[in-house]
Copies of this chain bind each other. A is one copy, B any other.
Amino acid sequence: MEYVYEAPVLTVDAVIFQLIDNQLNVLLVKRSRDPFRGSLALPGGYNSKGETTLAALDRILQSKTDLDKNKLRFIEQLYTFDTVARDPRGHAVSVVYMGLCLNVKVNVAKTTEQPRFVPVTKLPELAFDHQAIIEYAQERLASKVSYTNAIFGLLPKEVTLTQLQQAYEVVMGRKLDKRNFRKRILALNLLKPTTKYSSDGAHRPALIYAFRKQSLETSLKLID
């Protein structure tokens, strides 16, 4: 190569999902600087020289949202966007990850970025193309849970079948038939029945099942 190489700006952004009150929520921060100062945005930041994108992700989540990356039960690369006009410095390339977690509370007051989880159905206008990125991540997630066990990332190790079905329904955006769902999920052998029951109201207690694996298994055939 004959020209002098100067690297473009490289950033990392994160789409972190969590179920709260049976709704899919996404982690957002408030921008303290232009462009889009005051708007909500995906947590993200610069990737430094010599730093892997996952290391940058870790650092950025920690510093901007006070969320420890090892609280993420599932993480995967989503896509790399050629972000336009992200930054006064000009064109930037952004590697975006998608993560799933559970029972994470972020403290709005903890950092200047005021991190918070927002239901994906109630997003305000977001900075940059982050709205579109979140939609893309939702599609990927819906597709992913239909042929892998990735749903475990949103749930505790032990669940009732109804909890599991509700998680699928929220992620996939449609209702599922209870009997068919149970047949399929049990046939896949992803769950092991425990001897415990969950009593959470004036009704018959539900048998609790444990996920056999908390790591990604693929090539399943869960839901069409």
The chain A residues found within 8 Å of chain B, CB to CB, are 1, 3, 5-10, 45-54, 77, 79-80, 82, 90-91, 93, 95
Contacts and interface: CB of A to CB of B under 8 A. Distances in A.
Nearest to A63: B1
Q: How many copies does the complex hold?
A: 2
Contacts of A9: 5, 7, 49
Contacts of A93: 10, 47, 52-53, 95
A53 to B, nearest CB: 6
Contacts of A47: 7-8, 93
Contact of A6 (B1, B49, B79, B91): B49
Nearest to A221: B224
Given A5-B48, A53-B82, A93-B95, 12 more contacts: A1-B45, A3-B48, A7-B9, A7-B47, A8-B10, A8-B49, A9-B49, A47-B93, A50-B90, A50-B91, A52-B82, A53-B93
Given A5-B48, A49-B6, A49-B7, A54 B82 contact: yes
Contacts of A82: 52-54
16 contacts: A1-B45, A5-B9, A5-B48, A8-B47, A8-B48, A8-B51, A10-B10, A49-B91, A52-B91, A52-B93, A53-B80, A53-B82, A53-B93, A77-B79, A77-B80, A80-B80
